[in-house]
Amino acid sequence: MEHRVATGMDNGVLRIEPRPAHPAQAAPVSACPTSGGSYRYLENTMSVKRPSKADFLIAAQSHGYDLSDSQMASFLSLADETLGSYEAVDALYAAHVAQPTPVREHSKPADAENLHGAWYVKTHIAGAPSGPLAGRTVVIKDNVSVAGVPMANGSLSLDGYVPSEDATVVKRLLAAGATVVGKSVCEDLCFSGASFTSASGAVKNPWDLTRNAGGSS
């Protein structure tokens, strides 16, 4: 999955374009296509992206600020220092607890399968062959880690992040025999109780498309 950056506005819509990863960042996710248009993500990736000058420019303009060249240089320097510390701590942690990310196939649903925008990603992770939830299917909210499956928490700031470990609730569901069939969209960083702030788009009310579906999942 490519690292992306905001580069401008097109008719009021934020334009997001790919950019190379910063050399100090962790290796990007390796995505191997499989049959049916799904992907297998083989590596974890750092969830915090190093902001570019364009990122700061877009943020400043959206809040009505006009940054001078010296102010821009100051912000870029502060970001480098802050993320340099983040990366150092991240590397120390990874050296001690790193574990291989399981290979789990998943795919973005086609528009015809996602009429209301509620699916973030579809997958099929079978649980234990027997147990109190055997034969049951579950969808996991996208602020909960499912190893090997992207987790955005409704935000572009986490775009490309793939957890390497299942959350405890996911482990318990699978141990009880449940099958995880996907992840549901949640609001941008779960900050809204509505249904229109997610980076993947608004979630429509299935009973009345003119109304809010509520949030945050």
Q: Which residue has the higher pLDDT, 202 or 101?
A: 202
Nearest one of 173, 178, 167 to 145, comparing CA atoms: 167
Which among 54-63, 107-116, 129-138, 155-164 has the top mean pLDDT? Answer: 129-138
pTM of the model: 0.61
Q: Which residues pair with 140 in a beta bridge?
A: 183
Question: Closest Cα to residue 5, out of 160, 203, 149?
Answer: 160
**Residue ranges covered by each domain of the chain:** 3-97, 106-190
Of residues 5 and 202, the one with the higher pLDDT is 202
Asked if the model's pLDDT at residue 34 lies above 50, the reply is: no
Q: How far, in Å, CA of 73 to CA of 111, rounded?
A: 42
- The CA distance from 146 to 140, in Å, is 8
Mean pLDDT (the chain) is: 79
Omega before 216 within 30 of 0, i.e. cis: yes
Kindly report each contact of residues 204-212 with a partner whose C-beta sits within 8 Å and lies 24 or more positions away, as own/partner: 204/115, 204/116, 204/117, 205/116, 206/116
Range name among 9-18, 54-63, 167-176 with the lowest pLDDT average = 9-18
**Digit-coded pLDDT (tens) for 53-110:** 888 888 888 888 888 989 999 989 988 888 888 788 877 777 666 677 888 999 999 9
